């Protein structure tokens, strides 16, 4: 719950930047106005916010401080999904969770690929074999490979995603 307040603070900070105390007072007074007039007052408040925002943007044409990431900074897509879920319908939340799971799988696969590449650099003579592979002495075959070990670390969903990526990377390019 505390995390939700923290993430909602970004929205509140944005709202505070593009409004005035006068507009905030009207928002506080809105529930005390006669019901038939509340709709008109709500439209008037939004109109005032739009006018203020347009004036503010004209006077301050520079980038909003703290509202963008630097070019060298990698965006945290998982955190973005969590923040968006605060304002999403249950169906949208489900889609965001699927996207987060896919991101996590891709990050895991990238880490595994880097680990495998590092091991191949350390042991170039072993090509596909690694020092962690055991050999079945009766048949002379690898009983356990590094790739098997890495695959066993994945969840079933991650394995499925990996296999899908493997199929796509092995297909010839279209065109």
Tens digit of pLDDT for each residue in 79-129?
888 888 888 899 999 999 998 888 888 888 888 888 877 777 777 665 444
> Which run of H or of E encompasses 135?
strand 134-136
Q: Which two tokens mark 154?
A: 């994945």
Residue 52's pLDDT is: 92
End-to-end CA distance of the chain: 50
21-29 and 35-59 helices cross at what angle (nearest 10)? 170
Following CA atoms 155, 160, 166, 167 in sequence, which dihedral angle do they give, to the nearest 10 degrees? 170
Report the chain's mean pLDDT, rounded to a whole number: 76
Of 102, 103, 85, which is closest to residue 94 (Cα–Cα)?
Answer: 85
Higher pLDDT, 135 or 106: 106
Higher pLDDT, 144 or 154: 154
Q: Are 105 and 161 in contact (CB under 8 A)?
A: yes
The CA distance from 37 to 17, in Å, is 27
Q: How confident is the model at residue 137 (pLDDT cuts 50, 70, 90)?
A: very low
Q: How confident is the model at residue 30 (pLDDT cuts 50, 70, 90)?
A: very high
């Amino acid at each position: 719950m505390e995390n939700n307040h923290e993430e909602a603070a970004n929205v509140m900070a944005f709202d505070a930047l593009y409004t005035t105390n006068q507009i905030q007072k009207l928002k506080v007074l809105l529930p005390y106005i006669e019901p038939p007039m509340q709709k008109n007052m709500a439209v008037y408040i939004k109109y005032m916010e739009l006018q203020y925002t347009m004036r503010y943007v004209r006077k301050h044409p520079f980038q909003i401080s703290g509202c963008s990431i630097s070019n060298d900074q990698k965006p945290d897509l998982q955190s973005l999904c969590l923040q968006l879920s605060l304002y999403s319908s249950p169906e949208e939340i489900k889609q965001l969770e699927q996207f987060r799971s896919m991101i996590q799988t891709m990050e895991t696969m990238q880490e595994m690929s880097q680990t495998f590449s590092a091991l191949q650099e350390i042991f170039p003579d072993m090509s596909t074999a690694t020092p962690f592979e055991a050999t079945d002495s009766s048949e002379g075959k690898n009983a356990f490979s590094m790739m098997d070990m890495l695959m066993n670390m994945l969840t079933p969903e991650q394995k499925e995603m990996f296999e899908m990526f493997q199929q796509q990377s092995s297909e010839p390019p279209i065109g």
